[in-house]
Amino acid sequence: MKSLLVLIALGIALIASESVPSWYFNPPSDNETSWYGVGEGSTLRQAKDSALADIASRLSVTISSKVSKNATQTSTGAFSSYNQNVNVNQESEVKKIAFNNFEVVSTSQNDSKALVLVEVDKAKFLKDQLQTLTDTVNDINGLQPKGKSILEQYQELKSMAPDVEKAKTILSILTTFEIPFDRTKMAHAVSDYRDSLDTVRSKIEFYISADNDSRYSADVLKEALATEKIKIAQRFNRNNSNLVIINLDTEATTKQLFNTYMVNTRTTVSLKSKEGATISTFIVESRGNSSIDYATALKNASNNFKQQVNEKGIFTFLGIN
């Protein structure tokens, strides 16, 4: 009986292996012109995505190794700082790269599974990456801060952050494959972007205006801003071109149940320019209770406010990140 079960199992395995095409287990080797990847999924689309992810995974290891080697060996020169500050998530960033030029070489599909073999044209892929990098650098160089408020300058710069991070990855890719391009110009543009963002961010100065019931929430914001080393103005100065106003207006309702003091708060947070124009506004609701008094319950109600600030980060919380 045991021998029969073994034979049945072997038979099932043999049938299963015969339904899988040979190219899935032995795909073509990568060469000077192409990368190959195989993938599986419940649909052909999922299998195709899996095959491209297979290529990206191998590519990420190659690039990460090259970048790490450069960062270790390069101690002087124009790219010293860049190489030594390579994103520690280099591999994961490369895996996000999209392949626009690929060909589905073979497919196999049954009721439960789809298999795909894809081929990526190296030259076309690298050409696409160089074009994306060039476009990003042109966008960076085209930024015009004149005539814009300090907050508008920051938001415009910050909106480019995802593209710039991608550009840093592309720099690594193109360097790894020794593609001819003006690396000095491109690398400096990416580096200058970060300097510009940090410079603009360091100029922003917040002035917090709060009613009495918002005093604890105001303390939360001041603490968060101070932690991020963001300037806080002690008084309103209309001549300060870098000033941004945070206005806090809280409606508090109270109730006592036995020996417990309860407070519900509804705080309207408004971000305004120094001229008084509203940039953004939102509402934060909180609850607090205390066995001592309403003042303590109000202070405890600010804990939810603080939790949201800490979870999102102060700039995201304010809606300007």
For 300-313, write each residue's pLDDT tens digit.
Answer: 999 989 998 999 99
- Looking at the DSSP bridge assignments, the partners of residue 256 are 261
Distance CA 118, CA 37 (A): 5
CB count in 10 Å sphere of residue 211: 15
Query: How many Å apart are CA 120 and CA 34, to the nearest integer?
Result: 5
Residues of the chain falling short of pLDDT 50: 1, 4-15, 74-75, 78-88
**Burial of 111: CB neighbours in 10 Å, binned 0-12, 13-18, 19+:** exposed
Q: Is 126 helix (H, G, I), strand (E, B) or coil?
A: helix
The pTM of the full predicted model, rounded to 2 decimals, is 0.74
Query: Could you tell me the strand order of the sheet in which 278-290 lies?
Result: 231-232, 205-210, 243-257, 260-273, 278-290
Residue 118 DSSP code? E
Report phi then psi at 209, rounded to 5.
-110, 120
Assess contact for 209 and 246: CB atoms under 8 A. yes
Helix (H) or strand (E) holding 25, with range, is helix 22-25
Q: Are 163 and 138 in contact (CB under 8 A)?
A: no
pLDDT for residue 73? 53
Distance CA 201, CA 229 (A): 10
Q: Which residue has the tokens 């480019």?
A: 160
